[in-house]
Amino acid sequence: MIKKIRRIEIKSNRIIEEIFSGEYRSAFQGKGMEFDEIREYYPGDEIRSIDWNVTARQNKAYIKKFHEERELNMFLLIDMSRSNSFAKKKDIIAEIGATLAFSAVKNNDKVGSILFTDKVEKMIPSKKGKRHVLSIIEEILSFQPNNQGTAIKKALQYFNRVEKKRSIVFLISDFLDKDYEKELKIADKKHDLVLIRVIDKGEESLPKGAIFEFEDLETGETIVLDNLQGRTELESTIKLPVRNLLNIYTDEDFVKALMLFFKRRMR
């Protein structure tokens, strides 16, 4: 386990240094704003900054001023249900999470994580630092779910309730679930929400609604997969901008996919 964590750390840091330098901050700059003050409106101020309630009370125009937060807050919401428990899939999820988390650490941002199945199984509060990120990676790799199903709805409900600060949120799942659209919209309004769908091409060809059993060749474990929704429906179901959705296949280089995603966000 220690060797695997170390390997992921080295790989993630190399990716960040060689490829993602500056991309993360540029892709998410201006997403965290803090209230500064209310002052009188002056010619040249933006009309959309006017505080109409204060303006009505004072009979003169006032605006709200905000400043960009120096540090951002990142949360990784990771689906650890049985359909994501294949050794290869779990490793890729850990590598994606590590790359994102170390990008945040490099910019002195906080990182937290929620691991969920059909319930929230573990909440890791956001903190700064390399050691904290390594503990998150270890949790992902060593995690043994108490439950087998997945409930994105419950994970989002929990996160929307406990996290008050606007955050960059990466929801990492295969999205073999349904009935979470309302919670998704709430999270998208409160936070900068990005969906990362990890796809195994073998699973992608499964008929909608079918239930299958697979044996993980690396662990020997039997995994039950319930294809409730069918992957082709996700884009029409979630109704989020394409720039907020990233597909990553287990047999492809996730680094290239992340790089293209960051560039798309910067436009």
Strand (E) positions, 91-228? 110-116, 120-127, 168-173, 192-199, 211-215, 222-226
Whether the predicted pLDDT of 207 surpasses 70: no
pTM of the model: 0.74
Please give the Cα distance from 53 to 59 (Å, whole number).
10
Q: Length of the chain in residues, anyone?
A: 267
Amino acid 76: pLDDT = 97
* pLDDT tens for each residue of 162-193: 998 889 999 999 888 888 989 998 999 889 89
In sequence order, what DSSP letters do the residues of 73-108 get, joined into one string?
EEEEEEE-SGGG-SHHHHHHHHHHHHHHHHHHHHTT
Amino acid 216: pLDDT = 44
Amino acid 252: pLDDT = 86
Whether the predicted pLDDT of 217 surpasses 50: no
Name the pLDDT band for 158 (thresholds 50, 70, 90).
very high
Please give the Cα distance from 221 to 215 (Å, whole number).
6
Please tell me which residue, 189 or 87, carries the higher pLDDT value. 189
Name the pLDDT band for 128 (thresholds 50, 70, 90).
very high
Mean pLDDT of 97-105: 88
Whether the predicted pLDDT of 27 surpasses 80: no
Amino acid 14: pLDDT = 77
Which CATH superfamily groups domain 2-26+70-265?
A: von Willebrand factor, type A domain (3.40.50.410)
Name the pLDDT band for 12 (thresholds 50, 70, 90).
confident
Name the pLDDT band for 116 (thresholds 50, 70, 90).
very high
Amino acid 206: pLDDT = 59
Whether the predicted pLDDT of 218 surpasses 50: no
Amino acid 164: pLDDT = 87
Name the pLDDT band for 115 (thresholds 50, 70, 90).
very high
The per-residue pLDDT of the chain, averaged, comes to 79
DSSP label of 207: P
* Domain positions in the chain: 2-26+70-265, 35-68
* pLDDT tens for each residue of 49-80: 888 888 998 899 998 876 555 578 999 999 98
Structure tokens at 246: 């990233």
